[in-house]
Structure 1
Amino acid sequence: MRAADVDSAEVRRHVAGRARTSGLAAGSVAAVGYPGWAVLDAALEPAAAGRLLAVRAVGTALIWALLLVLWRRPVGRRYPGALVFALLAVVQVTTAWMLTEVRHLEFYLLGLSLALHASGLLLVVRPRWTVRLVLCTWAAFLVAVPLDPTPVPARLVVAVVVFLAITSLVVLVAHWHRWQLALREFVARRRLEAEQQRTQELLVRLERLSHEDPLTGLANRRRWDTALATRCSGAREAGTPVAVVLIDLDHFKQVNDRFGHAAGDAALQAVAQLLRSRVRGGDLVARLGGDELALLLPGAELVDAVRLAERVRAEAHALWPAGFSGPGISLSLGVAAAVGDGADPRALLASADAQLYRAKASRDAVSAARSVLA
């Protein structure tokens, strides 16, 4: 696993979010369990119950304050690890002091170990926070023992040291391995998601390319045939008109011979852009092959299609594609329209093709005829 994967901003955000969530859960347990332990204080250590209760009251107030900050304040989202550490450190420092005040040591050692186990085995924080909590626990105990006015028996000190040493080792090793596994899982999941995203983008691109002409970005013949059949079917059902305009660039072979194929491609792209800029949202512009382009105009009457064809023909004169010595492209356009039951895709396309043939006889012209009507 690369360092870049571990230290990425995305990993840090992920860890911060999970650290806050797990910290709220652990903090909520501590906020209830820590003061609730006072019941055991009263039952097991009646002589020291008053002092223990006072310490627990202070500790409980600090725990609730830190829990509230973790829950409600923006700092809780930015520094969840530090806040959870501070919350558990309150438990450890006060419990370490209690060890010097009680006779039933085993119950308070259990309380001391719970926070360590919570940090090492449950919290989603970086291992350094468990290391700090372990050091805090040891420091609190080593400070509390000398400050106790009543000498603590050596056997009790040894028992606590052995217990804390074993617990510290277990939680540190467990947290390190758990952290590494969590990182590997997260990085592997993100890589998988990224790969799935790339695959999805590739599929979308392939789908688009299967319906798109790569040179002009227009619809290709496959998409044209599908759209023409669909629009004609809709026109027959609704009794509405549909029009087709076929367009050829005049003298296209001579353009390629004179200016080069790059200039011919530029001419096709310029005309394609002109057509795209002049059609409506529901219209379709396609390249059927070579220099033949086409418009599919659902809902358009013949007069509307002819008006559009004339406008395109006139505006093509002003085009100046790259590689040309000057402006001017001439187009031949064949227009056909049908209404209702007359909207047969093959017949409509054949009619437009016949009109295109007539227009090409004189070049730079528009020829039109209405096909079979309902």
Structure 2
Amino acid sequence: MSMIPYAKQSISEQDIEAVAKVLRSDFITQGPVVVQFEQAIAEYCGADYTIAVSHGTAALHLACLALDVGEGDSVWTSPNSFVASANCALYCGAKIDFIDIDPQTYNISMTQLKDKLKLAEQNNTLPKVLIPVHFSGQSCDMQAIKSLSQQYGFSIIEDAAHALGGEYQKTKIGSCHYSDISIMSFHPAKMITSGEGGMLLTNRQDLADSIEQLRSHGITRNPEQMKGASHGSWYYQQLDLGFNYRITDIQAALGLSQLQRLDDFVSQRRALAKHYNEKLQGLALTIPWQHPDTQSSWHLYVICLQLEHLNVGRKQIFDLLRQAGVGVHVHYIPIHTQPFYQEKGFKEGDFPASEAYYATALTLPLFAEMSVEQLDFIVDNLTKILHVNDGL
């Protein structure tokens, strides 16, 4: 039996034809399909402005730049994320810091955030931007975070790379109702894919204009934005130091086609997650807890092993499952424990909840086209391993 991957894209004949149509057209780089993809995401999420970019990391970088993050500024995020959530601040010359996670949701802890903000206010070290990460597709408590931002004066970038199709308080994640900017990722492991790609969403025109300009070398072709008169229809001006973070019509065509199946993908993932929840009862592990204000998109299904009840470690369980053909993974290694960040002064023990979570976390395969038979195979193998090594 071939390995069941932890994630897998679903590509249909409709997707292939959508890409082929662009390849037969006059535009394969920046053309009308990019705009169509942006408009479709805006309509789906309920945001006023959307800007498509080359990947989720580019989206995070541009979001920071649009909010004027720079030297002397501080950005806070979760240690339980991919390194891009923190790296984006460093790209801008800012300092990065972390807020420990809630042991139930694995998102940033509101208690820890409140305490850290109070102390930072006393020390005059408040962050310029907070980047809450919607881990595995479950939203952070955005209403509470927005309230704190109004009290302490920081901006909010939602890292919703996992969360397209999810909901918070019955509103689609990405609406930016409680944030300045939200970012999405279209990596093949995510909810929909454009091969590589990302999206920024905002309800502020000033931010949208800035992001659109920075996406393409800091250049504008809009005469109203130029300094001095335009020389003609060919003319452009570079107004800032931007980047080539553009996405192509080829990628946008795939993303636009995939978007038509997003709700089905999410429904399938939710059904599989429910089946996991039912099948894993009674084992020495903790299943993912869901806050009643949220409806996760279920990008990931992460269990936490109750190692105190087992005679085997997480690595051995991981290896045995891989040997059985189950492509388990681990999300995430706490960012502050990476050598690069330890050289900046972070150390193990700084964020104990994140480290405790990481020590027991195991990501089980979950993707839209995964069958119930595959899920049962995964659970059966996990059950055998845990029962053989049950220390009870």
Normalising by the smaller structure, the TM-score range is: under 0.3
**Counting helix residues as a fraction of each chain, which structure ranks higher?**
1
Q: Which has the larger radius of gyration?
A: 1
Q: TM-score, normalised by structure 2?
A: 0.21
